[in-house]
Amino acid sequence: MSLPSSSSTQTPITTDYDFPLSHVPTHPRGSTRGHIRTAAALIIGDEILNGKTLDRNSNYFARFCFEQGIALKRIEVIADDEDEILEASRRMVQKYDFVVTSGGIGPTHDDITYASLAKSFDQNLVYHSETLRRMEEMSKHRSWVATQTEEQRTARKRMALFPERAEVLFVARDIWVPVVRLEGKLCIFPGIPSLFQKMLDNLTPFLPLPPHHERPFRLQVFTPLPESSIAPFLTDLQKRVHPEGIRVGSYPVLQKGVYVSLIGSDRERVGVLGAEVARETQGRTVTEEEMEAKRRGQTPPAEQ
């Protein structure tokens, strides 16, 4: 499960306060090999697996990684189960440079992410005083606080019970909950999409990201031809450009045509290849506006 939303009777996350941010280091911690190259996401929650909640966080994380030049290698969805969290978190931290978890950090009995990850990396759980202070500052004017029982207050404080050696990063002035980072690479996020997205974006200064010249550029061409008609050309094209580190993909739209995707770090070279693809497939380059509309689930003109 994830932290409750601001409309909940529990503790809201977003506030009208102006909390100070954590210090941004000159050289952010991260991959021991320099900047982050690979990433993985661990989505935690029974509600994802039983279909009650739609996972939007992994998609947003995938887009974040692509835009930052990070190769997202794996996305896993697991239950609120300690053994599964232990196994997956240890494996991912060992294998990838940047790992995020989403969900399971609320006040209820099945919100076990902090406790499970503390156990995974041989740490005790301790209350984080600054998080408690911000939580109390945020909630002191809430009428329901005075009516809570001791048991309910203890449940609320669980949201500030972190692994003892964790980094606690306050990344947004209007959100009291921090990003908790373990082993210099595993970052724990809430499951609520709006919070996950804002906190991930605001975490950017704390990450050793690839330099801009290494970040990929994606260009898409839409052709009305069927995939079978363009397959020989695309097969030859991929063989030609593979040594340049350029990837070619094709994604059909039923009874409409095919999107051909070109991804590479050399924007000019990808542009030249895009023109070739458009010419050879009787297609046209897809605009940035159309690509954004497609990402948002809107129907671009090419498919209408």
Residue predicted with more confidence, 122 or 292: 122
Query: Could you write out the three-class secondary structure of the chain?
Result: CCCCCCCCCCCCCECCCCCCCCCCCCCCCCCCCCCCCEEEEEEECHHHHCCCCCCCHHHHHHHHHHHHCCEEEEEEEECCCHHHHHHHHHHHHHHCCEEEEECCCCCCCCCCHHHHHHHHCCCCEEECHHHHHHHHHHHCCCHHHHHCCHHHHHHHHHHHEEECCCEEECCCCCECCCEEEECCCEEEECCCHHHHHHHHHHHHHHCCCCCHHHCCEEEEEEECCCHHHHHHHHHHHHHHHHHHCCEEEEEEECCCEEEEEEEECCHHHHHHHHHHHHHHCCCEECCHHHHHHHHCCCCCHHHC
Output the pLDDT for position 5. Answer: 38
pLDDT tens, position by position, 39-81 = 999 999 999 999 999 999 999 999 999 999 999 999 999 999 9
pTM score of the predicted model: 0.85
All domains of the chain in start order, with CATH? 38-206 (3.40.980.10), 216-303 (3.30.70)
Output the pLDDT for position 290. Answer: 81
Confidence tier at 251 by pLDDT (50, 70, 90) = very high
Confidence tier at 9 by pLDDT (50, 70, 90) = very low
Residue predicted with more confidence, 6 or 71: 71
Mean pLDDT within 98-120: 95
Mean pLDDT within 85-93: 98
